[in-house]
Amino acid sequence: MNKELFNKKVEEINLMLEESFPLYSRFDKKIIESMKYSVMAGGKRIRPLIMQETYRMFKGEGSNEDTLKTFMTAMEYIHSYSLVHDDLPCMDDAERRRGKLTTHIKFGEEFGVLAGDALLNTAYELISNKMARMRDIDELRAAAKAFNVLAYNAGVHGMVGGQSLDVQSEKDDLEVGRNELDYIYDGKTAALIDASFVIGGILAGVKDNDIKILEAIGKGVGIAFQIQDDILDATGDEKTLGKDVGNDEKLDKKTYLSFVGLEQAKKDVVSYTEGALSAFDSLECEKNEFLRDLIVYLIDREK
């Protein structure tokens, strides 16, 4: 992975996000500040990066990226909202994220809830606002399809669904077997990663067959990413990760490692990633080497 190029692209995404928030008017300063704090507290930005690089792989660089940028922003807002809500006292009760205080610790619990609500709604507002101004029917159709993919993957059959079963496993004594674990990982982690590949493809106007391949890549990368997250929770370093580690063991939580052990989990991260890479190689387009490297980086990451 070309780290310099990665950092440059992340910096560009940070600038785009910085400029995306509503302006303060009379009484909305605190809610907008809490949204901004949650999104701008750092983060690897891998979802918007995946979306952008997938789009560019099919469309080339230098085409109009206006709509793409709106979806990248919305995706990062939704990802941030999920982290803010996941950190709340009723969920993971976390005090630190990305090396900083979590939103509810900084602004109060009510604003943890409200910042998440505001981010989710603003994400959809930004997209629908853009769509309302589209004149070209093909562009509008693609945006509607991408909007649906985003909402579906963030919702009951995606991230919220996975998180719901995860919460039940902790609070309702639901027994977690492999089927339950797969459902949790597919939803809570893979859904948004998958949607990032697919939306990049839809906005670039790719054929249905390639969309199916992008879905397969996203699923593989998403699962590998979550297993790597489990590995980092068991073996990673708090300082590097910017959050507490060893949580899964403390909470006696079933993870991928509970089923296969650490060594097999490491091998499985590699094989899921290899599966994703071979799907990537089968796409009918000139390959984006940066995107290929990004997929590999996600399993080599230390945070």
229 binds ligand GRG (CB under 6 A): yes
> Rule CB under 6 A: is residue 194 a binding residue for ligand GRG?
no
Distance CA 200, CA 192 (A): 12
Alpha-carbon gap, residue 230 to 268, rounded angstroms: 12
Task: Pick between residue 86 and residue 194 the one whose CB is nearest to ligand GRG.
Answer: 86
Q: Please identify, using beta-carbon distances, which residue of 244 and 274 lies nearer to ligand GRG.
A: 244
Between 212 and 250, name the residue whose CB sits nearer to ligand GRG: 250
Considering only 20-28, 40-48, 198-206, 270-278, which stretch makes contact with ligand GRG by CB under 6 A? 40-48
Smaller CB distance to ligand GRG: residue 43 or 236?
43
Q: Which span sits near ligand GRG by CB under 6 A: 64-72, 158-166, 247-255, 289-297? A: 158-166
Using CB under 6 A as the binding rule, whether residue 75 contacts ligand GRG is answered as no
Interface of this chain with ligand GRG, residues 96 to 135, rule: CB under 6 A:
98
Cβ pair 199, 218 in contact under 8 A: no
82 forms part of the interface with ligand GRG (CB under 6 A): yes
Segment lying near ligand GRG (by CB under 6 A), choices 51-59, 60-68, 157-165, 259-267: 157-165
Could you say which of 46, 126, 150, 184 contacts ligand GRG (CB under 6 A)? 46
Inter-residue contact 163 to 172 (CB < 8 Å): no
Contact status, residue 73 vs residue 20, Cβ threshold 8 Å: yes
From the list 35, 78, 114, 159, which residue makes contact with ligand GRG (rule: CB under 6 A)?
159
Shortest distance, CB of residue 4 to ligand GRG, whole angstroms? Answer: 19
* Cα(198)–Cα(196) distance, integer angstroms: 6
Distance CA 272, CA 277 (A): 9
From the centroid of its chain, how far is CA 178?
Answer: 23
Please give the Cα distance from 163 to 183 (Å, whole number): 10
Q: Looking at 93-154, which runs of residues are DSSP E strands?
A: 96-97, 100-101
Strand runs (DSSP E) across the chain, as ranges?
Answer: 96-97, 100-101
83 is a site residue for ligand GRG (CB under 6 A)? yes
Minimum distance from residue 287 beta carbon to ligand GRG (Å)? 23
Q: Report how far residue 37's alpha carbon sits from residue 232's, in angstroms, rounded to the nearest whole number.
A: 25
Q: For residue 263, what are its two tokens?
A: 């060594």
Task: Give me the residues that bind ligand GRG (CB under 6 A), please.
Answer: 43-44, 46, 82-83, 85-86, 98, 159-160, 163, 188-189, 226, 229
